[in-house]
Structure 1
Amino acid sequence: MALSLPPLSLYVHIPWCVRKCPYCDFNSHKAGPDLPEQAYVQALLRDMQDETARSQDRALSSIFFGGGTPSLFSAQAIGDIIQGAERHFGFEPNIEITLEANPGTAEQSRFHGYRAAGVNRLSIGVQSFNPQHLQHLGRIHSGREAIDAVAMARAAGFDNFNLDLMHGLPGQTPEDAGADLTQALDLAPNHLSWYQLTIEPNTEFFRRPPVLPVEDTLADIQDLGCALLSENGLQQYEISAYAKPNKEAAHNLNYWRFGDYIGIGAGAHGKLSRWVDNSLQIHRHWKTRLPEHYLKRTDNIAAQRFEAGTELIEAQDLPLEFMMNALRLNDGVEESLFQQRTGLAIATIAQPLQRLREQGLVSADRLQPTALGSRYLNRLLPAFEAI
């Protein structure tokens, strides 16, 4: 087998928000009056420098600014980070650079600056256009501001953008969910992340759970939504992602195809592969979580000054790690990718794969869930545990 490595992406975590949403379990923190933008940018650039050797001379195929709320940072700051990434790693042709943005009026004014700085894709966190549902979700924008944000993004030159929209909200009916989707589709995004609200530990909703729609209502919402999206030319290509042709999110596709990614910023995670004596080793790395602790690591002289931990993914765990990503994709992946990305022969998973194919859950010639398999993915995946 050729000693090739997967494509490489960069994830940049900006950990601050104006306010913490009650459903959010991400590493995000309420921003104070004095956001340490410059100090954090300098820390990110040092973090990048520390990670350069791990790239193994691979240029970046995508960058994703996530959070938190990355659009709290100025266009100058985002531009400095992008320039640093190009300097340290280099860029593949047609690199995708995505920035998550909230629809608040103050952030919209920065869209022109982000585009000039090199961002070529926005992901706008709408969640809902309904004022009652926005209030339940703790969002600080209005439906009107969300609509205006899309218009301003287009005016700034963004012809590639995603809208984030949630369903299964407290008190939401199928009619409500359909109205949200219809409004989103009227804005003609080329990508839409449409996903169900789930109650996660360590959130306000977990401590004080809201009343969510019953299963029958959720099923009706799902059926209605999938039909609307298909009718409007957005095809489902992943569990909660829909896109027009050739507008799938390149950064997320790299995750799901078990590509490599470097994570920089407070609490960011990375996954990196390397060949050692003709054996592929895959490690996960993660950075210190709290922003104030991350900033204090800047002056540390250790080679991996920002790193909080690392672990080797053991060979027996790789089949499940690979399949739980690849089987999220409607089209799955070709069988040869399993060996390329894990270093293991496809024979490693031959027995469970054959059983699942006999049950009609996986396609015959690809690592691809059938329509039935997609419905029962959580039951399908345990077949690949600890092989």
Structure 2
Amino acid sequence: MLTNPPLSLYIHIPWCVRKCPYCDFNSHAVKNLKSENQTEFDLPEQEYIDRLIEDLEQELPKVWGRRLHSIFIGGGTPSLFSPESLDRLLSAVRARLPFENNIEITMEANPGTFEAEKFRGFRKAGINRLSIGVQSFNAKHLEQLGRIHNPQQAIDAAKFAHEAGYDSFNLDLMHGLPNQTLEQALNDLETAISLKPHHISWYQLTLEPNTLFHQQPPQLPHDEVLWDIQEAGQKLLADHGYQQYETSAYSKAPGLRAKHNLNYWQFGDYLGIGAGAHGKITRLDLGEIHRTTKKRHPKDYLQGSLSDISQDTAIPNRELPFEFMLNALRLIDGVPVTLFSQYTGLPINHIREVLQEAVADGLLENDPARLQPTEKGALFLNELLERFIPNSESNNNEPSSASIQFTQL
């Protein structure tokens, strides 16, 4: 029987100072700088906050009576907005949706000094967790990645997050960078660990379509080097008490895991507001699970009528197993088997044959109570996930959203 999972809110702010060559997110470089020192930008900040509130109002009928489990403000670079604007936005959200007592409110932030100086203001606005986009502490690699900060600014940002009193913060770090050696990758990790973040996201650079790196590929390390980096990095993190709980996520304790991302991975619900935002909502009144998408370009999002900026479609039942597994099997410990039926409305027998084949091939643990990848299954996750993609030939008249690129989240 279909039940409501926890409900989260994703808020997208699409502007950044510069588009990074590896970035395939819906982000747009800020134009018309007002100041040479980059402390002011020509952003439609108040207009965008107004539209976000209107966007949320439009979504409310789908989630009446439900409480918010977490909020994530992503981008782009949300820290380009002022603490006062984000305070107004969060106050508007709080007035329209009840918060759980221990709600996690995360914001992505860039480590530049300009944004770091606002960390206290963001904390006062109610943001209790930061995700700081460091990517590397190596000056050459930061330049290759198109980042606007330097290594010292990244270090200072982490220190400032501690001083500002954040309950938790994450450092985002990449490996497998252009011409990166094993020693350089481990130096990045060691620097991050020395800053004592509560959480580290450590993931391999991938060349995504529609990015400059995809059009002009840099020289990446050979597979043997990538494997050595992965093995040595995971050991280093474990030796310092960082527990891996997802493909690229490590926390100091279970209570410091990213609640918002865990809700994604456990097939929870989330409203998505903002340019290009996506949402996934269980509609018990219709007995369906719906996907929502918003207009991608900020101009279209701001100027379009409310009815035009959003699309809402039901996910066909045949696609639900893949949608569920795409998230759940990223978790090292997997999820309870019962979650599949609760959150998809489908009986587990619907995928029993595929599960048995995956167990026989050593990709899934032979555990009747959990859906959990083996060490081999985690290593060959794409191969495991492909088994749950529906056969489109037998459903030619039904649209499919299952042709999803397998990338780091």
- Any residues of structure 2 matched to 1:243-258 within 5 Å, and which? 243-245=251-253, 246-258=255-267
Q: 2:278 — aligned with what?
A: 269
Q: 1:350 — aligned with what?
A: 352
Matched, 1:91 2:94: no
Q: Which runs of 5+ in 2 are unaligned?
A: 34-41, 392-409
Q: Deviation of residue 325 (structure 1)?
A: 0.7
In structure 2, the residue corresponding to 1:209 is in which secondary structure? coil
Q: 1:242 — aligned with what?
A: 250
Matched, 1:122 2:130: yes
Q: Deviation of residue 45 (structure 1)?
A: 0.6
Amino acid at match of 1:25: D
Q: Deviations over 1:69-107 (max 9, x none)?
A: 000000011111111111111101100000000000110
Q: 1:332 — aligned with what?
A: 334
Amino acid at match of 1:31: V
Distance 2:150 2:82 in 1: 22
In structure 2, the residue corresponding to 1:384 is in which secondary structure? coil
Distance 2:120 2:285 in 1: 45
Q: 1:259 — aligned with what?
A: 268
In structure 2, the residue corresponding to 1:282 is in which secondary structure? strand
Q: 1:55 — aligned with what?
A: 63
In structure 1, the residue corresponding to 2:335 is in which secondary structure? coil
- Any residues of structure 2 matched to 1:192-211 within 5 Å, and which? 192-211=200-219
Which of 370, 376, 386 pairs up with 1:372?
376
Aligned length: 379
Contact 2:201 2:249 in 1 (8 A): yes
Contact 2:267 2:328 in 1 (8 A): yes
Amino acid at match of 1:216: E
Distance 2:195 2:291 in 1: 38
Amino acid at match of 1:273: T
Q: Deviations over 1:294-319 (max 9, x none)?
A: 1112xx3x5x4531x23221111111
Q: Deviation of residue 267 (structure 1)?
A: 0.5
Which of 299, 302, 311 pairs up with 2:313?
311
Q: Deviation of residue 158 (structure 1)?
A: 1.1
- Any residues of structure 2 matched to 1:159-308 within 5 Å, and which? 159-245=167-253, 246-276=255-285, 280-297=287-304, 300=305, 304-307=307-310
Q: Deviations over 1:9-28 (max 9, x none)?
A: 00000000011101101100
Q: 1:17 — aligned with what?
A: 16
Distance 2:139 2:215 in 1: 23
Q: What CA RMSD, in Å, does the superposition of the two structures yield over aligned residues?
A: 1.1
Q: Deviations over 1:41-78 (max 9, x none)?
A: 00101111111111132111000000000000000111
Distance 2:17 2:291 in 1: 30
Mean CA deviation greater in 260-269 or 28-37:
28-37
Provide TM-score, normalisation by structure 1: 0.96
Q: Deviation of residue 31 (structure 1)?
A: 1.0
Q: Which runs of 5+ in 1 are unaligned?
A: none
Distance 2:385 2:19 in 1: 33
Distance 2:78 2:272 in 1: 15
Q: Deviation of residue 385 (structure 1)?
A: 2.1
Distance 1:287 1:332 in 2: 30
Amino acid at match of 2:291: R
Q: Deviations over 1:320-359 (max 9, x none)?
A: 1101110000010000000011000011111111111122
Amino acid at match of 1:251: H
Distance 1:378 1:25 in 2: 20
Distance 2:277 2:251 in 1: 27
Distance 1:345 1:353 in 2: 13
Runs of 4+ in 1 over 3 A off after TM superposition: none
Distance 2:146 2:3 in 1: 46
Contact 2:334 2:373 in 1 (8 A): yes
Amino acid at match of 1:288: K
Distance 1:93 1:53 in 2: 22
Distance 2:126 2:308 in 1: 28
Q: Deviations over 1:134-177 (max 9, x none)?
A: 00000010110011011111111113000000000001000000
Provide TM-score, normalisation by structure 2: 0.91
Distance 2:316 2:229 in 1: 40
Q: Percent identity over the alignment?
A: 56
Distance 1:213 1:265 in 2: 36
In structure 2, the residue corresponding to 1:380 is in which secondary structure? helix
Mean CA deviation greater in 147-156 or 356-365:
356-365
Q: Deviations over 1:194-231 (max 9, x none)?
A: 00000111111111111100100100110110000000
Distance 2:283 2:235 in 1: 43
